Every structure is written in C-alpha cells, then in structure tokens.
Structure 1
Amino acid sequence: MLSILFFCYLTGFSLGIDIHQFPSNVISKTGSEVVLFCSHEQASHRVILWYQKSPGDEDLKLIGYGYGQFNNDSVEETFKKHFRLDGDLQSAKKNLSLSIVGLKVEHTATYYCATREAHYFSDAVNIHQPPSELVRDGEQSVTLKCEQDSDQIYYMYWYRQASSGEMELVAYSASKDASSIEAPFNNSKYTMTRRELRRTELQIHPAEAKDSAVYYSVSITDSAHCASTSEAIFGGGTKLTVLDKNIPITPPKVKIFYPSEKECRDYDRKKKRTLLCVASDFYPDHVSVYWKRNGRNITNGVATDPAAKKEEKKYKITSRLKIPLEEWVDPNNKYTCIVTFFDGKNYTDYNDNIEGLFLKHIIILNLLFKIAITRGYYMRVTQNAKVSYTVLIVKSCVYGAFVCFLVWKLQGKRGKQRK
C-alpha cells in the first residue's frame, strides 16, 4: 500500500535583515551540551528557523522553527531527542537559541539560522487540501490537489519530504498555465497543472512504493512580484565539531613546496609560478589558511580548498599561491603560508616560509644557465660544490706543502756546494 500525506502552507520571506548568529566555531566532547544563539531586530520577521548541514551533504535539514511562539512540536521529529529551542519572538529583539544535548559525533555539522516574515492564516485566505491519499503500488497515477481563495497568490510550489527528513522541490508555478518540474524529478513521472490561478495539481504516474512521502504544496503571497520576498535570510552559520574521544586534538604540520620542475623549465616570463602549501595531520578540521609576502597579506592568486579533507582519522588542506615571475625571482621577497587552528579554546597560527637566500641562487642558475631548478636539485648542487671546494682547498694545501719541501731541499743542496 502506498501512503501519501500532503499539506498546504501560505508563506512569505524577505531580504535585507541583519542576523546575529554566534558562536561561529564550537568544539565539544561527546555527551556534553552546546547552545547556539540567533537574533535580529526586524519587527515583521517573527519566524526564526534552524538548519543543519552535515559534512559532505549538499542539503540543509530543517531542525525546527519558532513562529511567533513555539513549543516542543516546533522541533522536527528526527531531531527531538537531542535538540531544544528556546527564546523570545515577541519582543523588539527577537531571538531563538538552539541547544544540543547529549552530543554525539554525528552531530558534527554547520548550523544555520534563518528568518522570514510571518504571514498568518486569515479569514480572507482559505486553503483547502485533502489530508491524505492512499493508493496501491503500481496504479496508473495519483493526483494531489491544493486550492486557495486569494487572487494575490502568484507562486505555488510542490515539495516532497522523504522519510530521511530531507525536503526536495518537485515543481513550481509562477502563474496560471505555467509550471516547471525540477531535477532530479522529470516530466515523464511528475506533472504539475494550474488551470486556474487558485488551484494546482501534482500528478505522479505511475505510483510506486518508493514515492511514499509527505508532499507539501506551498503558496507564496508576493505583493512585490517576487522582487525581494521569496528568500529567507540566513546567518553566517556555526560550525560544530563533536570530538571523537579516540582521536586527540592535534595541530597541523605546515609545509611549503616550491614550484614544480615543469614550471621551472618554462621560461615564459608572462606565466606565473605556483607555491603549494600543505597543512596535514590535524584534528579537528577548524582551520583557515592565508598567505603573506614580507609580512603583508596576499589575496590575489590564492586558491584554497573549500574544506579540509579527512584522511583516515586526521585532516589535510592545501592552498596554492600563483605569483608573477618577476616577484618570484626578487631576492627581497619572503613568502609565508599561515594556518590558523582552533582547538576549542584558542586560535593558534602555524606557518612555513621561503627564505630569500634560496631565491638569490636559483635566479642565477635558472635565468643565466637555463637550468630547471627545484629545491632538491639546488641542495644537491650546493652540497656538491661545498665538497668540491673542500677537496680543492685540501689539494692546494698539499701542493703548497710539497712545493715548500722542494724549495727547502734545493736550498740545502746549494748550501753544501758552496762549502
């Protein structure tokens, strides 16, 4: 038996709001409790929502929301065991805090709060929709319907919420007789119709067991013709990491790698050289990377991984700096890669740099003799030069001693002949 539940909502959103969300980073141990805070001062925005974005997941999951007032039912079913909401949405400074109790490693995620305008149901706008629909697996089709009685409703949407809790947009309509099906859903399976401005239907054909879900029809009242009232305003987000008790907090090892041999062989002055900074073997993954040249921050030519990558139990992140050849060969330049690491209490910088002394020598070898110079090659050349120089000095000393001995012998023979 295929069961489908669906509801109809009247919603609205607004832009231009300053949201204050803090802290930005939290590191805590399993079993403990953390509290995240969110507030704003926009009178008409009486709705505050909290979302979770897990590592590697592109979707935001709704944890819960406050709508003028809230209670235990304001937290979504899958989050009720460990998540609590508290705050004040009636005062001038509206706030809604999110508490996470009995922390687990799987609670590691980035958390966002958002706000939107509260459009309450009124006698002027009535929405009618059957509460449920039951069909058998394999039936040709099932049709979901939604109807409202306002001519001010321009946009209507159909959403699908599977048992995992994720909400996916299936289709939307901006006006009468106009609709679109969103990927990954397709027109051969789903059809949205809107023959009248006030009514919409979503047809699923054929109906299969995997289509079991809660389907939401959302209507947005848009007096500004969707110019600025169709999006929620998000805060900056809070990155939460629940520490694995079996992995100790470990700072990063930072290393700069010089331009590759291939780049060094390229003598085109218009092309740039690339410095590679690698921070590895750290835990947790609360890091930021930036570059300096001679003590000043560099932003142009910097490309850093969007997030640290996990390798077994520790993390690794890389950053690349592209610099013009004339800057690379300037012996007065010193490049530093700095990795800021947050251990749950303090932010600490770890760095590596390129010394100018190395640059002076590779300039001569690279530009005058057209030799592709890498750090390893340079070290081998200089080491060989030191050995050769030492051998030359020893030979010179031996040769000098030998010459002195011959001179002394010759002088001795001449003295005897005179006598």
Structure 2
Amino acid sequence: MEDRQSGSLAVREANVTHTAVYFCAAGLAAVPVPVQPGDLTLQPGAAITLTCSLASDMSSYTMLWYRQHVYGDPIEFIIKEYDTSRGRFKATLDTKQNRFSLGISELQVNDSGTFYCAATNSEPAFFGKGTKLTVLEPGCIVSPPTVVVLPPSEKECRDRKEQLKKTLVCVASGFYPDHVSVSWTVNGQSVIKGVASDHPALRVDDKYQITSRLRVEARKWYTGGNIFTCNVSFFNGNDTIYTSAEVYGGVDVRWIKTEPDGETREEFVKVTQTAKLSYIVMIVKNIVYGVFVTILAWKLGLGRSHATAKK
C-alpha cells in the first residue's frame, strides 16, 4: 500500500503548481482541507514546528508536507508521515489529537517559503492555505511599508468596452519582509470589483515594493467627496501593522505630485510595469519546467516499456 501511494505521489509532486494548491484549498466543506497557522518570521538558527489539523479523522488519510520557495515556482515535496525525518525536517503524526507536524531545526535563510500541509487517500491531494515562513536575512532590518495612492491620469479615458473608467494606483514600498496584503475601500466600504494587486512583491535592494490598482467609473472618481482608500497590513514577526493612504475624488490630477521625493505618477507606473514583467517571466519559467517534467516522465515510462518488452 505504501509503495503504491509513493509511486502515485511521485508524479503528482513533480507537476503540482500553485494554481492546483489554491483550487484544492477552495473546495467544498466536505473536503478535508488542512488547517494551518499564519505567517511566521524567525531568525537564522532557530527551530520551528508547523502543525496542521483536519476536521475529519486524520487516520483515514496520508499526510504530507510541501514547500514553495517563491510564488510561481513548482511546489516541492518535503516529507510524508511514513518518512518520520529527512535531514533537518521531522514529521510527527498524532492521530489522537488529529495533528500532523513538521519540525525544522537550525533554520537557514533558504528555508524561507510557503509550507503546505496536504491530505490524500486518492487523487487529488487536498492542501491547506499554506504558512509563509521568512527566515530573516543578515543585515536586513524589519521595516513597515510607506503607502501612497496615486490619482488617475487625465489621459486615461476608456476601456475596451468603451466605458469611461479611471485607475487609481496604490504603492506600498520600503518594507521587509514581504508579509503584506492590500485591500481597498470607497467611502469606508470594502470593494473587490476592479481591484488587481501584484503578486509577489517586487524586491528592490534589501526592501520590497508592491502595487495595487483600483478601476472605477469615471463619474464616481469625478464626484467630489468620494474617498478612495488603500489599506495595507504588514506582519513584522510579532504584530500586524496597518497602514493606509487615501485620495479624494473630483480632483484635477494635472498638478498633483506624490510624496516622498515628489515622484510623479508616471514614474510609479514604470515601476509597476517592471513588476508585471518580472511576474510574466516567473510564469514562463514555471511553464517550461512543467514541460520538462512531462517529457522526462514520458521518457522514463517509455524506457520501462522497452525493458518489459525485452524480458
């Protein structure tokens, strides 16, 4: 039984992507989605134990841990319940408490990434939401973000459906580590429609920067008194720090410059475009890796077929 599961998992480990992870985690209530802790920030050399649980009986499933170093990279298998330990990684299964733990000793900077607990008794495996772990780099100082909201460009008029739209840009910069999330409100009310945030954050020297955009109807922007607010939450390893910036509708944007250092909206847009390009390159790398793994798996299967035929 264990050999059959290991062989089945070997193919899945090579092909799981971040898309598959979030699809499984967003399943129905009956799906055994593992519950995991939130973000963690630790110093090198420390030890950590990540623990996940299931609402259903864990003994009915094979439990596993995976890691994704950087968003867009392939998900890599670390350890399953039968392995017990692999180097600095140790797996512990407690079926009475319905808990499955991953212990990591002597943390290193390259241990940073998102760790996923998974449960399976057949295809597919069901993943938790993930725990983002950052092992702080020497010389890098934990810093909260500076947030600014850039009003729309006066040159922006229409979208592809010929409807009048305006785009506001929020820039959060100068933070470390990259444990941030961005949301928008209009007049204090949360909005999701028209929001697009970059992911992951862009590394600039020893700090990070992230941008988020909000597209609204032009008439809403030109209505005086409307308040558009960008809200950024940042986890510093101990507490979550909330920072926001806002801009008022009905403003003539031709004479507006932003702080700090008087950068113009166009300069921030250039940075945003750079972040988009980095994300596209990351996606292309992921696709190439998937094609490589598929070809390799096909060749290995073909080799086994020839060997069987000769016998």
TM over 0.5: yes
3-state SS, counterpart of residue 17 of structure 1: coil
Q: Which residue of 1 aligns with 2:254?
A: 374
Q: Distance in 1 between matches of 2:151 and 2:94?
A: 55
3-state SS, counterpart of residue 338 of structure 1: strand
Structure with larger Rg:
1
Q: Which residue of 1 aligns with 2:303?
A: none
Q: Which residue of 1 aligns with 2:39?
A: 25
Aligned pairs (5 A) from 1:11-410? 16-40=30-54, 41-42=56-57, 45-56=60-71, 58-66=73-81, 70=82, 73-75=83-85, 80-89=86-95, 91=96, 93-117=97-121, 229-263=122-156, 270-356=163-249, 359=250, 362=252, 373-376=253-256
What is the deviation of 1:116?
1.3
**Alignment equivalent of 1:9, drawn from 4, 13, 17:** 4
Q: Distance in 2 between matches of 1:324 and 1:9?
A: 56
Q: Distance in 2 between matches of 1:38 and 1:8?
A: 25
Q: Deviations over 1:16-61 (max 9, x none)?
A: 4333433120011111111111122236623110001101552111
Q: Deviations over 1:326-360 (max 9, x none)?
A: 1111112001101100001111111111135xx2x
Q: CA-atom RMSD, angstroms?
A: 2.7
1:9 partner letter: R
The 1:338/1:57 distance shift into structure 2, 3 A limit, reads closer
Q: Distance in 2 between matches of 1:272 and 1:252?
A: 28
Q: Distance in 1 between matches of 2:156 and 2:136?
A: 41
The 1:337/1:244 distance shift into structure 2, 3 A limit, reads same
What is the deviation of 1:269?
8.3
Q: Which residue of 2 aligns with 1:369?
A: none
- Tell me the matched-pair count: 235
What is the deviation of 1:296?
1.1
The 1:19/1:324 distance shift into structure 2, 3 A limit, reads same
More strand as a share of residues: 1
2:61 partner letter: R
What is the deviation of 1:254?
0.6
> Matched residues, percent identical?
35
Q: Distance in 1 between matches of 2:58 and 2:69?
A: 31
Q: Deviations over 1:127-161 (max 9, x none)?
A: xxxxxxxxxxxxxxxxxxxxxxxxxxxxxxxxxxx
Is the 8 Å Cα contact of residues 184 and 231 (structure 2) preserved in structure 1?
yes
Is the 8 Å Cα contact of residues 34 and 126 (structure 2) preserved in structure 1?
no
TM-score normalised by structure 2 residue count = 0.69
Is the 8 Å Cα contact of residues 53 and 111 (structure 1) preserved in structure 2?
yes
Indicate the larger mover: 37-46 or 271-280.
37-46
Q: Distance in 2 between matches of 1:58 and 1:265?
A: 35
What is the deviation of 1:10?
4.5
TM-score normalised by structure 1 residue count = 0.52
Q: Deviations over 1:60-102 (max 9, x none)?
A: 1111111xxx4xx444xxxx3321112313x3x4321111111
What is the deviation of 1:109?
0.3
Q: Distance in 1 between matches of 2:234 and 2:128?
A: 23
More helix as a share of residues: 2
Is the 8 Å Cα contact of residues 34 and 118 (structure 2) preserved in structure 1?
no
3-state SS, counterpart of residue 21 of structure 1: coil
Is the 8 Å Cα contact of residues 269 and 325 (structure 1) preserved in structure 2?
no
